Amino acid sequence: MGLPGVINYLGVGFACGALHKSFSRQETLKLVSGVWRTIFAVREGRDFTQEELAKREASERGVLANIYNGVPLETEGLAQMSYLKYFYGLERAALLMNTMASFGIVDSGLNWLHSTKTNPYDPVDLAIASRYYKPPQILKEWLLENSKQPRGPGN
């Protein structure tokens, strides 16, 4: 993934509250700009030229337009629903990976997850997938317990 992709995901994180606070459009723009400039300086050993700066600013505006697409300007702390779903999905995926590691079932857990290609937090999907490929029992119990606690919009 190139630097613009990384910056996009950082912007989504800032907008959705990855730092325990949802940032406004202007705050997100400042954070994205600072991170972009820092990463570039470390990679290239220099600051942007005027031409690169103009391109970067256009890209930053594009990042914000994507994140806040369709959201009224006066609405702060709210990003596009698809980005919110993606953000909370990533958060839940990290929790699942950490749980598999703590249970010592990373290999069998990932084999099951990749074989089923389903949403493991959805009890219906879990039941259907489990008929054809059995998850590690401890993981199935954990998923059933945690699927009762919705996280974020659209679960």
Q: Which residues of 73-94 are buried (b: 16+ CB within 10 A; e: fewer)?
A: eeeeeebbeebbebbbbeebee
pLDDT of 45 strictly over 80: yes
Q: Which residue has the higher pLDDT, 141 or 29?
A: 141
Name the nearest CA neighbour of 95 among 44, 37, 132, 145. Answer: 145
CA pseudo-torsion sign 85, 86, 89, 95: negative
Per-residue pLDDT, averaged over 117-146, amounts to 86
Based on the domain organization, do 92 and 142 belong to the same domain? yes
User: Could you tell me if residue 116 is inside a domain?
Assistant: yes
Based on the domain organization, do 129 and 66 belong to the same domain? no
At 65-91, the pLDDT tens digits run 777 666 655 555 555 555 556 666 667
Based on the domain organization, do 72 and 34 belong to the same domain? yes
Of 50, 79, 108, which marks where a domain is finished? Answer: 79
Total-model pTM: 0.45
Based on the domain organization, do 71 and 130 belong to the same domain? no
In whole angstroms, what is the distance from residue 12 CA to residue 79 CA?
8
